[in-house]
A and B are shown apart, each in its own frame.
Chain A
Amino acid sequence: MMKQLPLDRLPELFRKISEKKTVIAPIQSAGQVNFGVWTEDSILRLDALKTVKSAKGAFFPQVEDIVRFRMEGKKIDIHPADVLTEEFVIFGVRGCDARSFELLDRVFLSDPVDPFYAARRQHGTVVTLACNEPEETCFCTNFGIDAADPAGDVTCWIAGDVIYFRANTEKGIAFTADLESAENESPVEELKKNITEILKKLPFGALNLTGFDGDHLMERFNDPRWSELARGCLGCGTCTFVCPTCQCYDVRDFDTGSDIQRYRCWDSCMFSDFTLMAHGTNRPTQTERFRQRFMHKLVYFPSNNEGLYSCVGCGRCLEKCPQSIHIINVIKALGVNKDA
């Protein structure tokens, strides 16, 4: 049974939730829309299709303390950072970002479970929002994601000036408990139909991903066109840091003077010092690094995860790459449909 709420009473709902849980929603600050903690004077932007940084930051933040060491003479005492305990709601997550949580779960929740990520996933309620106006850079349709009916604890639709909620999990039910139920669900059905129509018009909506799986690993790896594709790549980390499914991180120590703070932070396979170990022979040229990124998304991850691609088609890398080199180039250049 769906629930509904007039759109202009949404801040009221947030205020009520904020008493007990932190509300994270797409808000605009300094001209950009990113997920941030909602407060009274935040500019809520549910109309913005995509935030710059994906929603993964709520569960896998860019920087996170792990442990703190303090030296007392010769004795070292260790203070592990405590995991998240407060509840929070992340509101306005699009279908693609919602799928990325599943992909990250396969990495962080598989044995050995990452305690920090697990705690956040457990205390977080994901409220997804259907995409009323998908854009040309979207291509989630290739990965079995339904932008019109995204997965999540609660799925919402904004039809006209009313927002409809459908609880999918216990957390979802708890979230929508004291909302008035919606008698007439037809606007939602109609909105879903429109969205599906628009999704058909996506320029990259229907790519042919055959050939990108574990069995053709070596063919893809040895393809001569990688150096051609990678030539324009600057080796910056934009594509990896806006990507909702990138999960690589580096562990660093910071000497605060009185103790040592060990923290982890996002790392990018595009950086020249990615996985630079003692003997100093990590991937030497940009071609190798470029290949590693897309091989992981389209070949390595699926071969380890029953064909589940590590790309959710959000299109952020299409928009944000300074030189417009991205996964679509790779799929079209190396995939079966070279002529498409």
Chain B
Amino acid sequence: MQKIGVFVCWCGSNIAATVDVKAVAQALKNEAGVVFSTDYQYMCSENGQAMIRQAIKEHQLTGIVVCSCSPRMHEATFRKTAVSAGLNPYMVEIANIREQCSWIHKDIAEGTEKAIVLARAAVAKLHKNAPLTAGTSPVTKRALVIGGGIAGIQTALDVADAGFEVDIVEKSPTIGGRMAQLDKTFPTLDCSACILTPKMVEAAQHEKINIISYAELESLSGFVGNFTATIRKKARFIDEDKCSGCGVCTEKCPSRKGLDEFNMKLNKRGAVYIPFAQAIPNVAVIDAEQCLHFRTGKCGLCQKNCSAGAIDFEQKDQLIERKYGAIVVATGFKPIDASAFNEYAYNDSPDVVTSLEFERIMNAAGPTKGQLIRPSDLKHPHEIVVIQCVGSRCTEDKEKGKPYCSKICCMYTAKHAMLVREKYPDVKVHVFYIDARTPGKNFDEFYRRAVEQYDVDYIKGMVGKVAVEGDKLHVQGSDLLNGEQVHINADMVVLATAIEPDPTARSLGTMLTASMDTNDFFTEAHPKLRPVESPPAGIFLSGVAQGPKDIPETVAQAGAAAAKVIGLLCKNELTCNACVAQTNEAICNGCSQCEKVCPYGAITYEDKEIRSPEFRGIRRIATVNEAICQGCGACTVTCPSGAMDLKGFTNSQIMSEVDAICR
């Protein structure tokens, strides 16, 4: 019979408020096998853990049950405590009497009774626990960063600086991501390219960083420390090694109808193009849909004029398979499709632009070479209206808008207003806003300068309609502070649209088995305590892929993700999950049903000598590779005879929990 110690935590008042912890400790005293039962304000605290160590030694406990918060919080803590007292870490069970009991039941009697049942279930399970030791698996000392924006670049640099190889996989022809499209950055109004391109160059020249551009992750298998990724490098039809980036081909290309994605499709580009001047790799790419050679088989001017002979129409997609120890998701974001907001006449007038389009118009390398002119008649606007929260904080219509606040629009709108007012004092700028959310360092001061120093007209209220009237845009909105309707005949309207994750995020999440929330942002392992890790071990999050954030936060998170990756890659081997499947060779039928359901291919078969009362001789037996098995348990259910069981969650453990709960 086991000697079990039960420790009921008050968790300050979180548990003690709605569960009579003394009664729970008392009730557990006369449970079979329980030799010690006590309660304490903070079991997870230092002296709480000391109490456990003391009890283990004093009563020679063979197992402990801690009735406290969720095992997802402190199971590891209490396991370490057990180890420090010489007890096997898997002889510890947690009864979740906070999140799943005290916090959700008001009535003390009800809460106490449930806590007792949950505690009994944990004791019942502990009776069937057996000490387990975890195996180890090797670590591939290379990281994979998916996405080449500032988040991906920063993470790659930090990891590479620690001496580990990093591959950056970027979907578009060049790294740089969303930040490369920006003109200035808040709150310091640094030129975005000036602070980004050095990092891009550093990444390109770093001997530990390998940039795989114009490529996407095709498939992924394996587990932390032992991922095998297959990357599809799309055909550029240009040989990267030969192309010097001279750009001759881009000038010679007759097909001019391609829309320049980099400039948010405000202008056209050739079929062969280099996205922007500081592109890394500074190599052209051919857009097969626009290229006349692909459409009609003729032309080929670029090939004729390319002195380096880099054009290669026969180039095919390339599948690269490499092993990685850790994976960082840095897939960034894109603004939502503003065409859904026709009340702002986005589809009716080219002068209604999104903030990112406006950013390109303001940018010296943009379609208007930095001149603030209206896309419709290229005239200089005198009155601009900016509308905040277009599609953000929009709860009633899920398809059109996003329920969350996109966080960065208040700041970049203040930036736009300041830049316009500072460069063109004659232009009047009105900003319709709900709340000006500028909480960062020097953020509010920046916003105050826009209001006071550049007297940008901030109107607290929403815009009802924007109507095209002649060459003016009749903006009709409300001013809640003065309680009146506002009509402005503006020359341009800028929509500060919401941002959403990159469209490839959802499929990538499925491939990585990383959980995602309903808005397709990657869900972090824990909102407060593990913001840069994804639940599956070895997958880390960097940048807006995890949620809306600005550049300073992105870079901070990129560094944090890098630190986690370095923490993982610096280990020579990883301790595996101890709760893995195990075969009872005496009764295994060798029928290979389990192998078919194993997602990791951890089960193989071999002929073994079996000595059991039922059978003596050679038989086909399933064996589990403990390094690959992740302990999901799918095999234990397809095994009809129960020969395959899962250590830590065995059939008898779960059944005794069911018995205790239903008693």
Task: Tell whether A pairs with B.
Answer: yes
- What would be 14 A-B contacts, judged by CB atoms less than 8 Å apart? A71-B32, A73-B30, A255-B659, A257-B659, A257-B662, A257-B663, A258-B663, A272-B614, A276-B613, A280-B613, A281-B613, A282-B613, A284-B613, A284-B614
Q: How many angstroms between the C-alpha atoms of A257 and B121 in the bound complex?
A: 12
| A276 and chain B: residue at smallest CB distance | B613
A contact residues around B662 at 8 Å (CB): 257
Q: How many angstroms between the C-alpha atoms of A272 and B613 in the bound complex?
A: 10
Q: How many angstroms between the C-alpha atoms of A73 and B29 in the bound complex?
A: 9
Per-residue CB contact flags for chain B residues 490-508 toward chain A (1 = under 8 Å, else 0) read 0000000000000000000
Per-residue CB contact flags for chain A residues 264-287 toward chain B (1 = under 8 Å, else 0) read 000000001000100011101000
Per-residue CB contact flags for chain B residues 625-659 toward chain A (1 = under 8 Å, else 0) read 00000000000000000000000000000000001
A contact residues around B663 at 8 Å (CB): 257-258
Contacts from A to B (Cβ < 8 Å): 71, 73, 255, 257-258, 272, 276, 280-282, 284
Q: How many angstroms between the C-alpha atoms of A71 and B32 in the bound complex?
A: 10
Q: How far is the CB of A70 from chain B (nearest CB, A)?
A: 13
Interface centre among B30, B613, B659 (most CB of A within 10 A): B613
Q: How far is the CB of A14 from chain B (nearest CB, A)?
A: 42
A contact residues around B659 at 8 Å (CB): 255, 257
B contact residues around A272 at 8 Å (CB): 614
Tell me the residues in window 7-38 of chain B with beta carbons closer than 8 Å to chain A beta carbons: 30, 32
4 closest A-B pairs (Cβ-Cβ)?
A257-B663, A280-B613, A73-B30, A257-B659
Q: How far is the CB of B83 from chain A (nearest CB, A)?
A: 32
Tell me the residues in window 574-618 of chain B with beta carbons closer than 8 Å to chain A beta carbons: 613-614
| B29 and chain A: residue at smallest CB distance | A73
A contact residues around B613 at 8 Å (CB): 276, 280-282, 284
B contact residues around A284 at 8 Å (CB): 613-614
Majority DSSP secondary structure for residues of A touching B: loop
Q: How many angstroms between the C-alpha atoms of A258 and B30 in the bound complex?
A: 14
Q: A257-B659, A257-B662 are in contact. List 12 more A-B contacts (CB 8 A).
A: A71-B32, A73-B30, A255-B659, A257-B663, A258-B663, A272-B614, A276-B613, A280-B613, A281-B613, A282-B613, A284-B613, A284-B614
* Interface size band for B: under 10
Q: How many angstroms between the C-alpha atoms of A34 and B663 in the bound complex?
A: 36
Q: How far is the CB of B144 from chain A (nearest CB, A)?
A: 52
Q: How many angstroms between the C-alpha atoms of A258 and B32 in the bound complex?
A: 12
| B615 and chain A: residue at smallest CB distance | A284
A contact residues around B30 at 8 Å (CB): 73
Q: How many angstroms between the C-alpha atoms of A255 and B663 in the bound complex?
A: 10
Q: How many angstroms between the C-alpha atoms of A228 and B663 in the bound complex?
A: 51
Q: How many angstroms between the C-alpha atoms of A276 and B613 in the bound complex?
A: 10
| B614 and chain A: residue at smallest CB distance | A272
Contacts from B to A (Cβ < 8 Å): 30, 32, 613-614, 659, 662-663
Q: How far is the CB of B637 from chain A (nearest CB, A)?
A: 24
A contact residues around B32 at 8 Å (CB): 71
| A272 and chain B: residue at smallest CB distance | B614
Q: How many angstroms between the C-alpha atoms of A255 and B614 in the bound complex?
A: 28
Q: How far is the CB of A316 from chain B (nearest CB, A)?
A: 29
Q: How many angstroms between the C-alpha atoms of A71 and B662 in the bound complex?
A: 18
B contact residues around A257 at 8 Å (CB): 659, 662-663
Q: How many angstroms between the C-alpha atoms of A92 and B585 in the bound complex?
A: 52
| A257 and chain B: residue at smallest CB distance | B663
Q: How many angstroms between the C-alpha atoms of A71 and B614 in the bound complex?
A: 36
Q: How far is the CB of B614 from chain A (nearest CB, A)?
A: 7
Q: How many angstroms between the C-alpha atoms of A257 and B658 in the bound complex?
A: 11
Q: How many angstroms between the C-alpha atoms of A257 and B613 in the bound complex?
A: 32
Q: How far is the CB of A6 from chain B (nearest CB, A)?
A: 55
Q: How many angstroms between the C-alpha atoms of A27 and B614 in the bound complex?
A: 41
| B663 and chain A: residue at smallest CB distance | A257
Q: How far is the CB of A273 from chain B (nearest CB, A)?
A: 9
| A282 and chain B: residue at smallest CB distance | B613
Q: How many angstroms between the C-alpha atoms of A73 and B662 in the bound complex?
A: 19
Q: How far is the CB of A39 from chain B (nearest CB, A)?
A: 34
Q: How many angstroms between the C-alpha atoms of A76 and B659 in the bound complex?
A: 20
| A258 and chain B: residue at smallest CB distance | B663
Q: How far is the CB of A275 from chain B (nearest CB, A)?
A: 12
B contact residues around A255 at 8 Å (CB): 659
Q: How many angstroms between the C-alpha atoms of A272 and B659 in the bound complex?
A: 29
Q: How many angstroms between the C-alpha atoms of A90 and B386 in the bound complex?
A: 97
Q: How many angstroms between the C-alpha atoms of A228 and B289 in the bound complex?
A: 79
Q: How many angstroms between the C-alpha atoms of A282 and B612 in the bound complex?
A: 12
Q: How many angstroms between the C-alpha atoms of A280 and B659 in the bound complex?
A: 28
B contact residues around A71 at 8 Å (CB): 32
Q: How many angstroms between the C-alpha atoms of A71 and B30 in the bound complex?
A: 10
Q: How many angstroms between the C-alpha atoms of A281 and B30 in the bound complex?
A: 39
Q: How many angstroms between the C-alpha atoms of A260 and B441 in the bound complex?
A: 68
Q: How many angstroms between the C-alpha atoms of A15 and B614 in the bound complex?
A: 53
| A73 and chain B: residue at smallest CB distance | B30
Q: How many angstroms between the C-alpha atoms of A73 and B30 in the bound complex?
A: 6
| B616 and chain A: residue at smallest CB distance | A284
Q: How many angstroms between the C-alpha atoms of A281 and B616 in the bound complex?
A: 13
B contact residues around A276 at 8 Å (CB): 613
Q: How many angstroms between the C-alpha atoms of A73 and B27 in the bound complex?
A: 11
Q: How far is the CB of B58 from chain A (nearest CB, A)?
A: 21
A contact residues around B614 at 8 Å (CB): 272, 284
Q: How far is the CB of A286 from chain B (nearest CB, A)?
A: 12
Q: How far is the CB of A326 from chain B (nearest CB, A)?
A: 26
B contact residues around A280 at 8 Å (CB): 613
| A280 and chain B: residue at smallest CB distance | B613
Q: How far is the CB of B472 from chain A (nearest CB, A)?
A: 80
Q: How many angstroms between the C-alpha atoms of A272 and B614 in the bound complex?
A: 8
| A256 and chain B: residue at smallest CB distance | B663
Q: How far is the CB of B90 from chain A (nearest CB, A)?
A: 25
Q: How far is the CB of B546 from chain A (nearest CB, A)?
A: 46
B contact residues around A73 at 8 Å (CB): 30
| B659 and chain A: residue at smallest CB distance | A257
Q: How far is the CB of A47 from chain B (nearest CB, A)?
A: 43
Q: How far is the CB of B160 from chain A (nearest CB, A)?
A: 60
| B662 and chain A: residue at smallest CB distance | A257
Q: How many angstroms between the C-alpha atoms of A255 and B655 in the bound complex?
A: 12
Q: How far is the CB of B659 from chain A (nearest CB, A)?
A: 6
Q: How far is the CB of B34 from chain A (nearest CB, A)?
A: 11
| B31 and chain A: residue at smallest CB distance | A73
Q: How many angstroms between the C-alpha atoms of A33 and B32 in the bound complex?
A: 47
| B32 and chain A: residue at smallest CB distance | A71
Q: How far is the CB of B113 from chain A (nearest CB, A)?
A: 16
Q: How far is the CB of A116 from chain B (nearest CB, A)?
A: 29
Q: How many angstroms between the C-alpha atoms of A257 and B117 in the bound complex?
A: 13
Q: How far is the CB of B43 from chain A (nearest CB, A)?
A: 26
B contact residues around A281 at 8 Å (CB): 613
Q: How many angstroms between the C-alpha atoms of A258 and B120 in the bound complex?
A: 13
Q: How far is the CB of B536 from chain A (nearest CB, A)?
A: 38
Q: How many angstroms between the C-alpha atoms of A282 and B613 in the bound complex?
A: 8
B contact residues around A282 at 8 Å (CB): 613
Q: How far is the CB of A276 from chain B (nearest CB, A)?
A: 8
Q: How many angstroms between the C-alpha atoms of A284 and B614 in the bound complex?
A: 7
B contact residues around A258 at 8 Å (CB): 663
Q: How many angstroms between the C-alpha atoms of A281 and B611 in the bound complex?
A: 12
| A284 and chain B: residue at smallest CB distance | B613
Q: How far is the CB of A73 from chain B (nearest CB, A)?
A: 5
Q: How many angstroms between the C-alpha atoms of A257 and B662 in the bound complex?
A: 8
Q: How many angstroms between the C-alpha atoms of A36 and B57 in the bound complex?
A: 61
| B656 and chain A: residue at smallest CB distance | A255
Q: How far is the CB of A171 from chain B (nearest CB, A)?
A: 46
Q: How far is the CB of A258 from chain B (nearest CB, A)?
A: 7
Q: How many angstroms between the C-alpha atoms of A172 and B603 in the bound complex?
A: 69
Q: How far is the CB of B457 from chain A (nearest CB, A)?
A: 74
Q: How many angstroms between the C-alpha atoms of A339 and B404 in the bound complex?
A: 93
Q: How many angstroms between the C-alpha atoms of A284 and B611 in the bound complex?
A: 13
Q: How far is the CB of B434 from chain A (nearest CB, A)?
A: 58
Q: How many angstroms between the C-alpha atoms of A284 and B32 in the bound complex?
A: 37
Q: How many angstroms between the C-alpha atoms of A279 and B30 in the bound complex?
A: 34
Q: How far is the CB of B27 from chain A (nearest CB, A)?
A: 12
Q: How far is the CB of B493 from chain A (nearest CB, A)?
A: 70
Q: How far is the CB of B259 from chain A (nearest CB, A)?
A: 71
Q: How far is the CB of B195 from chain A (nearest CB, A)?
A: 68
